[in-house]
Amino acid sequence: MTVPFLILGLFAVGLQIAAEWLGARAARAAAKVASSTAFVAVAYGVGALGTDHGRWLFVGLLLSWVGDVALLSDERRIFLGGIVAFLLAHLAYAGAFLTLGVHGPTVGIALVAIAPFGGLTMLWLRKGAGNLFPAVAAYVGAIEVMVALAYGVATPGLRPWPAAATLFFLSDLAVARERFRQSAFINRAIGLPLYYGAQFAFALSAGPLV
């Protein structure tokens, strides 16, 4: 059942982008729920619950589903709940990478390389985020750690996690620009494929390693 859910999810992502362009809020919401439900279903289908790292990834995907639903709202408190859900999702992904085993020096190098981007991001968002800035800063810190750990995974063989984590980070910049800087269709047109590409990569890697 994995392939049908993957196809459904990618099709729903396309519908989301079309709905964003047309300003069809109800269609956008339905397509988002379908897309996010699909990546959870894909993870389950590949056997996420049967592996140690997969269970962490599965939790992260579930939390991301919650965050996606929360971000459909324009209410700031609900949006804050979405930020918290995604922050916890990144911590769950970090748990998956630690379970797989990481190379400490590589993680350190990645953190040093990523830190300036995180700092610039927080400066960029400082004014627009207003009283949500502490939550946004915590979120930026969490995703920096998650990305660094993804690059440090020491498991041999196919390693999709660095690319997936980087895509997630870039998609978050699009969300941040949409919410705190300038609302524009281009934010969603770029951010949605990046985000779902990351999530489906995480989902597909949640099963037994080969």
Write the DSSP assignment of 99-145 as a string of letters.
Answer: HH-B-HHHHHHHHHHHHHHHHHHHHHHHHHHGGGHHHHHHHHHHHHH
Tell me: pLDDT of 116 over 70: yes
Distance CA 173, CA 36 (A): 19
> Burial code of 126-156, b = ≥16 C-beta within 10 A, e = fewer?
eeebeebeebbbebbebbbbbbbbbbbbeee
Report yes or no: 64 and 36 within 8 Å, Cβ to Cβ.
yes
3-class SS of residue 1: coil
Q: Report the alpha-carbon distance of residue 63 to residue 127 in Å, rounded.
A: 27
For the chain, first and last CA: distance in Å?
A: 19
H helices, E strands: number in the chain:
8, 0
Which tokens go with 180?
A: 């705190």
Q: pLDDT-based confidence at 157, cuts 50/70/90?
A: low
Beta bridge partner(s), residue 102: 153
Q: Is the torsion defined by CA of 195, 64, 178, 21 positive or negative?
A: positive
| Inter-residue contact 122 to 180 (CB < 8 Å) | no
Q: Which helix (H) or strand (E) segment is 12 a member of?
A: helix 2-22
Mean pLDDT of 153-178: 89
DSSP reduced 3-state for 153: strand
pLDDT at 74: 79
Q: Is the pLDDT of residue 159 over 80?
A: no
12 touches 38 (CB < 8 A)? yes
Read off the pTM. Answer: 0.93
Confidence of residue 129 (pLDDT cuts 50, 70, 90): confident
CA angle 81, 69, 145 (to 5 degrees): 55
